[in-house]
Structure 1
Amino acid sequence: MTEFATLKEMGISSFELISRFSLRREHDRDVLKIYYLRPTTSLRPHSQKFTFARPRQAIPGQSRHSQAWQQLSDCSPMLQKALDELKQLTGSSEHALSPKQELLQDLQHLEKVVEAKLAEIREKIERLH
């Protein structure tokens, strides 16, 4: 087995630059976001987002509370393999944040993105004078 084969298959090659990752659910999809350690002046992205469709399979109604139903509603096998590899890379034993922590993290990220975009627009305005 090739080391980090799933991450390689996803197009990731700079394993040593991965700092952390997050996972959240959006409707019927799982969204994995991988964050990299990069200098602020780097032109390469500081994060990468991957979307995985949640598997949907029809099973009889009486089975919906069984172990089989639980396994069917879990995330995709590729995502599970990627999470295992990311945990190994980052030394993280747990990837999931509480809903409150996740929302606070999303809010902080959004604030940073908006501040950076505002600064960029202000610079462009200044150059016009």
Structure 2
Amino acid sequence: MSDYPTLEKMGVKSVDSIDKYTVRHQGDTDVLKIYYKRPKGSLLSRSKKFSFIRGRRGIPLEVRNAKAFEQMDKISPQLVAALEELKKLDARRKEVDPVDPKAKFLSDLDHLEKVMTAKMDDIRRQINEME
């Protein structure tokens, strides 16, 4: 039996390769995006996106147009279970490999700089092609 049954049901096979995850609310949908650590040149995807429709509780018709109705969305039980498993995975990983916050910030800053430089080079290339 797996330690991460919900993630397994969602098709997440390489749990140990998970680097980070994000959750955002988009309309009546919650979007979970899982990012993986992949070696350079890997053909495997670097991320997977999962969408979960928010359910509505039974509410009388008179109330359905009220602003309070918008706040009564119900988060998908599958999303809640997946987030619990991802938190458990993070906790296990921190026990094994504690992260130095300063090193993480520097790493994130280096990554951001690389992404920005690549994007700026691409935009400059596109501008030069216009001439």
How many residue pairs align between the two structures? 100
Q: Distance in 2 between matches of 1:59 and 1:2?
A: 38
List per-residue Cα deviations over 1:6-35 (Å, max 9, x = no partner).
Answer: 000000111110011000001110000001
Q: Distance in 2 between matches of 1:39 and 1:31?
A: 26
Residue 58 of structure 2: aligned partner: 58
Q: Greater relative contact order: 1 or 2 (C-alpha under 8 angstroms, separation 6 or more)?
A: 1
Report how far residue 3 of structure 1 moved.
1.7
Residue 48 of structure 1: aligned partner: 48
Residue 30 of structure 2: aligned partner: 30
Q: Secondary structure at the match of 1:24?
A: strand
Identity in percent? 40
The residue type paired with residue 19 of structure 1 is: D
Aligned: 1:81 with 2:44: no
The residue type paired with residue 36 of structure 2 is: Y
Residue 10 of structure 1: aligned partner: 10
The residue type paired with residue 10 of structure 2 is: M
Q: Distance in 2 between matches of 1:49 and 1:40?
A: 21
Residue ranges of structure 2 left out of the alignment (5+ in a row): 93-111
Q: Assess if the C-alpha contact under 8 Å between 1:18 and 1:90 holds in 2.
A: no
Extract structure 1 runs of 4+ deviating beyond 3 A.
Answer: none
Q: Secondary structure at the match of 1:84?
A: helix
CA RMSD of aligned residues (A): 3.6
